[in-house]
């Protein structure tokens, strides 16, 4: 696809007005007079502290994969698949909490911390740790 406009690094006040449902990798954005689609991996939420929370995180855990993309998260794991709606993140001293809403209106919390994370038995290192609790469901893992 051809680029129709560019945003400077660190641009602020970008509104997300739509999200691609099929891939969740693309967000439709509006900033000043620019409107168009942008890959979520290039965006982060405004925050009082750095590092900033990326709009797209790909996470792994011992029980499956968790993909977080702006307003949705999907889990594909040993116990099956699930999809959650996400509220905007709330920053706290060292990371973020996100309220979630799953099937049957079950609510929960997703917490993301910007810290070194490694899965047991793996030499791979990740920049974010994630913990999720939705009803009886619990998950912890590492994210890029």
Stated as kind and residue range, the H or E segment containing 51 is none
**82 band by pLDDT with thresholds 50, 70 and 90:** confident
26-31 and 34-39 strand pairing: antiparallel
Q: Which residues pair with 62 in a beta bridge?
A: none
Instruction: Compute the radius of gyration of the chain from its Cα atoms.
Output: 16
**104 band by pLDDT with thresholds 50, 70 and 90:** low
- Is pLDDT above 90 for 101? no
Cβ atoms of 76 and 55 within 8 Å: the answer is no
**15 band by pLDDT with thresholds 50, 70 and 90:** confident
Q: Determine the pLDDT at residue 90.
A: 87
Tens-digit pLDDT profile for residues 117-137: 998 888 889 999 999 888 787
Place of tokens 């116990």: 79
Residues 6+ apart with CB under 8 A from 10: none
Q: Determine the pLDDT at residue 51.
A: 62
**113 band by pLDDT with thresholds 50, 70 and 90:** very high
User: Which of 106, 75, 70, 112 has the alpha carbon at shortest distance from 94?
Assistant: 112
Q: Determine the pLDDT at residue 5.
A: 78
Tens-digit pLDDT profile for residues 18-74: 877 777 678 888 888 788 888 877 877 766 555 678 888 889 888 888 888 878 888
């Amino acid at each position: 696809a051809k680029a129709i406009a560019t945003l400077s690094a660190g641009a602020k006040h970008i509104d997300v007005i739509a999200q691609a449902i099929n891939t969740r990798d693309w967000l439709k954005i509006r900033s000043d007079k620019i409107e168009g689609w942008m890959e979520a991996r290039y965006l982060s939420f405004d925050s009082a502290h750095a590092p900033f929370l990326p709009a797209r995180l790909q996470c792994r855990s011992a029980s499956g994969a968790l993909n977080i993309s702006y307003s949705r998260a999907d889990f594909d794991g040993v116990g099956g698949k699930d999809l959650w709606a996400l509220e905007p993140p709330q920053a706290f001293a060292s990371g973020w909490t996100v309220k979630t809403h799953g099937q049957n209106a079950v609510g929960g919390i997703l917490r993301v911390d910007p810290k070194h994370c490694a899965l047991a038995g793996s030499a791979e290192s990740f920049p974010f740790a994630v913990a999720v609790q939705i009803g009886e469901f619990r998950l912890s893992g590492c994210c890029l």
